[in-house]
């Protein structure tokens, strides 16, 4: 799963990496947690990429009352087409949820406190989690765009810490993922195999300061091993 991640780009024009040319007023975030707004890239009706902020926690289109909980922050890629909640967004509303690292926690044999690890690219460049999004509108006209992150079996870097990980889409697959064309399940599975081989991450032990979602700043990613 993915329950906490970062986006603290070193360059103000980091969205160029996702072929978004507009500037964005953005504050570095070192401890993003469910229920917050996250940065999402999608293709709009004019087939142009756009970056927006969306609620992290998918809100079903058919939901009648406003309830922006955090029940659906992740979706398992293996069963993405088996649940009504995820099937239509997967076919029609795919997105990239922008990050530059994520956290997982490992149980320690000699302590009740789990060791947090920070996973990121060696060059600390931003990347896109595979995501799906939904558009919700209340009877009174209030609009909320929401999203969730697709997960898969952990690769060799993440597996010693956690059995699941977010799908990280390589740059040369952005167009395929963001396209409005339907992706067949068999083609999606083949894509996952290729993506897994291309996902190169660095594992860094960090301190328990990150455990509290209220804690922010670079201290969250400072190297520390219990």
How far is Cα of residue 77 from the mean position of the Cα atoms in its chain?
13
Quick check: is 181 catalytic?
no
Note the CATH architecture for domain 5-110+122-200.
Alpha-Beta Complex (3.90)
The DSSP output letter for 74 is E
- Tokens representing 163 are 């059995």
Please calculate the CA angle 211-214-220 and round it to the nearest 5 degrees: 50
Please provide residue 130's backbone torsions phi and psi, each rounded to the nearest 5 degrees: -65, 125
Catalytic residue among 95, 104, 148, 220: 104
Prediction pTM value: 0.93
Shortest CA distance to 113 belongs to which of 2, 216, 205, 221? 205
List 2, 147, 148, 220, catalytic entry: 2
Whole-angstrom Cα distance, residue 150 to residue 113?
27
Question: Domain-by-domain residue ranges, the chain?
Answer: 5-110+122-200
| 2 flagged as catalytic | yes
50-60 pLDDT, tens digit per residue, is 999 999 999 98
Distance set, CA 59 to CA 13, 54, 56, 210 (Å): 30, 11, 9, 27
Query: What tens digit of pLDDT does each residue of 28-56 get?
Result: 999 999 999 999 999 988 888 999 999 99
């Amino acid at each position: 799963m993915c329950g906490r991640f970062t986006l603290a780009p070193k360059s103000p024009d980091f969205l160029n990496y996702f072929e978004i040319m507009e500037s964005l007023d953005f504050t570095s975030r070192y401890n993003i947690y469910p229920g917050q707004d996250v940065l999402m890239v999608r293709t709009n009706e004019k087939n142009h990429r756009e970056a927006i902020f969306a609620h992290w926690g998918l809100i079903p289109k058919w939901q009648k009352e406003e309830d922006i909980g955090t029940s659906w922050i992740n979706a398992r890629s293996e069963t993405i087409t088996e649940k009504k909640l995820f099937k239509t967004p997967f076919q029609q509303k795919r997105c990239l949820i922008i990050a530059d690292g994520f956290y997982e926690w490992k149980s320690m044999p000699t302590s009740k406190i789990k060791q947090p690890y920070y996973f990121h690219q060696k060059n600390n460049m931003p990347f896109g989690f595979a995501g799906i999004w939904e558009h919700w509108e209340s009877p009174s006209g209030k609009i909320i765009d929401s999203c969730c992150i697709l997960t898969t079996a952990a690769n060799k870097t993440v597996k010693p810490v956690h059995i699941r990980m977010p799908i990280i889409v390589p740059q040369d697959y952005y167009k395929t993922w963001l396209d409005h064309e339907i992706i067949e399940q068999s083609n999606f599975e083949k894509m996952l195999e290729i993506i897994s081989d291309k996902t190169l991450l660095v594992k860094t032990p960090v301190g328990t300061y990150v455990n509290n979602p209220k804690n922010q700043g670079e201290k969250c990613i400072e190297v520390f091993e219990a």
